[in-house]
Chains A and B, each alone.
Chain A
């Protein structure tokens, strides 16, 4: 069987992806996580000295903490199964990746296991985030120096 035939056969027998249903699920689960985040942000704005913009830092930390508990007790896996991207795109999904890798590799020891594997999944996000931020900020700085745009 050549490659083309194989690809056609694979397409024929693999179940159809329920695009709309997946999107609705991702929307509801992701939206709910952001809604909870908004409540946390409101909490920090009301009881602590944070403004609308500065409240995002403590909010993100709190959501990471919640995700750690959910991951540890095995609930986050279910959220990911139901919500698809709705579970992995919010920062809680990033936290889930770090925490689950840390827990799973515990048996290999704390230095080589936990330390070495913690960012196995999340490391690529940090790498591409940092590098793209570097490039974007560099371009912007140069453009400002040249007087093309302003800050």
Chain B
């Protein structure tokens, strides 16, 4: 029980270190870094490597942005398994809908609640 908290902390931290190295060493902008990490997550899921990482690290693997690429690919592949090629399109947002919809909804609510004051 305790061990999942430790692995979540360590794995999540390490993914962020990868991001930091892409910032500092590869001199990528934050936007490029995030896009690259999402693509990496999606490719890892294609190879079947991301689910074992989630089993190992729990939130350490699901909270970093790599999991966004993973769940997009996962939904697309799960649906493609059932319905063939067209499933790639229909299943794309199956798993990740909660992330996108809550970002849109909370973002819109926040724009009612808060005044602009340099939050970026």
Contacts and interface: CB of A to CB of B under 8 A. Distances in A.
Given A34-B59, A41-B59, A86-B13, A106 B111 contact: yes
A88 B69 contact: no
Contact of A103 (B14, B68, B104, B110): B110
Interface in B1-46: 4-5, 8-25, 30-31, 33-35, 37-39, 41-43, 45-46
A52 B58 contact: yes
A52 B109 CA distance: 30
Nearest to B62: A56
Contacts of B92: 130, 133-134
A106 B65 contact: no
Nearest to B33: A85
A127 B34 CA distance: 11
Contacts of B25: 19
Interface size class of A (residues with CB under 8 A): 35 or more
Interface residues of B, number: 81
A144 B62 CA distance: 27
B16 A29 contact: yes
A82 interface: no
A66 B106 CA distance: 10
A112 interface: no
Contacts of B115: 103, 106
B31 A89 contact: no
B8 A134 contact: no
A89 B64 contact: yes
Interface in B62-118: 62-65, 67-69, 71-73, 75-77, 80-81, 84-85, 87-89, 92, 95, 98-100, 102-104, 106-111, 113-118
A60 B99 CA distance: 6
Given A34-B63, A85-B17, A140-B46, A128 B104 contact: no
24 contacts: A26-B13, A27-B17, A30-B16, A31-B60, A33-B12, A33-B63, A34-B8, A35-B5, A35-B59, A56-B71, A60-B67, A68-B110, A84-B20, A86-B19, A89-B33, A93-B65, A95-B106, A98-B104, A103-B111, A103-B115, A129-B39, A129-B41, A129-B68, A141-B84
The 7 closest A-B pairs by CB, nearest first: A34-B12, A30-B16, A31-B13, A85-B19, A37-B59, A133-B72, A137-B76
